[in-house]
Structure 1
Amino acid sequence: MYERILVATDGSSLSDKAVSHAMELAKLSGASVVALKVIPRYPRSYLEGGATIDLSEIKRIEAQWADQAQSVLNKIKADGKAMGVTVKTSVAKSDLIAESIIAAADKQNVDLIVMASHGRKGIKRLLLGSETQHVLTHSQVPVLVLR
């Protein structure tokens, strides 16, 4: 059925549900899992929405975000090991979340993408966008969405 499953996580309880489903599916089908967390880049200028701060402080903040992301992914890897599922982890640094997920799926040659959707509607969806919707409409591989 599936050989390699990509699961995208943001560390939230909702994405934990997607991770859990991806792990169970991988276990049932004998697939490996690629766990991906996309972290943003720190805004570098006032025009990008952030106050101008020292470059070393920006690097420190981005390193902290990367460490937190790796911590989330290490837990997924440990859970996979306990279940007998091989898990590879990946941290992507980008402001383009959906594009990063799709690119990782292509690069890792996955059969399925598993991710959560917050189910925003109306003005919230318009203002906040939908990364899941973007992945659904642009991915070349099947996408399993959990809510």
Structure 2
Amino acid sequence: MYQRILVTTDGSALSKKAVRSAIDLAAATGASLVALNVVPRYPISYFEGGVSISSEDVGRIEKKWAEDGQAIVNAVEKTAQTAGVKVKTAITRSDFVAEAIMAAARKHRCDLIVMASHGRKGIKRLLLGSETQHVLTHSSVPVLVLR
């Protein structure tokens, strides 16, 4: 059925639910798992002209975010290994989360993407957009969305 499943996680409660489901599915199908966390870049442009922030501070903040992302995928790795699932972790830095997810699926030759939907509705969804929706509508790889 599935050979390699990409699961995206940001460490939120809903994404942890998606991780658990991805691990269960991988265990049931004999698939391996790729746990992905997308780390955003620091939004310097938001502060141009108003707040002075040094490149060292930006570097420190981005490093902290990357360390937090690594801790998140390390926790997935530990849980998957406990369930007997072969797992690889991946961290990528990008402001374009959906594109980074789809690129990771191609890079790791995944045949399924599992991700959570944050369940935004109405005007919030319209204004904020939806990374999940973008992956659903643009991915060449099947996508399983959990709520």
**Normalised by the size of structure 2, how large is the TM-score?**
0.95
Query: Equivalences for 1:1-147 in 2 at 5 Å?
Result: 1-46=1-46, 51-147=51-147
Shift of 1:42: 0.4
**Alpha-carbon distance change, 44 to 122 in structure 1, aligned in 2, over 3 angstroms:** same
Cα distance in 2 for partners of 1:11, 1:138 equals: 24
Q: What are the ranges of 5 or more consecutive residues in structure 2 without an aligned counterpart?
A: none
Contact 1:44 1:50 in 2 (8 A): no
Structure 2 CA distance for aligned equivalents of residues 73 and 103 of structure 1: 18
Cα distance in 2, alignment partners of residues 74 and 85 from structure 1? 14
Q: Using the TM superposition, give the Cα deviation of residue 51 of structure 1 relative to its aligned residue in structure 2, in angstroms.
A: 3.5
Contact map agreement 1:43 1:49 (CA 8 A) in 2 = no
Q: Which amino acid aligns with 1:97?
A: V
**Cα-Cα RMSD:** 1.5
Tell me how far apart the structure 1 counterparts of residues 134 and 90 of structure 2 sit (CA, whole Å).
20
Question: In 1, distance between residues paired with 2:6 and 2:58?
Answer: 29
- Residues in 2 aligned to 1:46 and 1:132: alpha-carbon distance in whole angstroms: 24
Amino acid corresponding to residue 51 of structure 1 in structure 2: V
Question: Where does the alignment leave 5 or more consecutive residues of structure 1 unmatched?
Answer: none
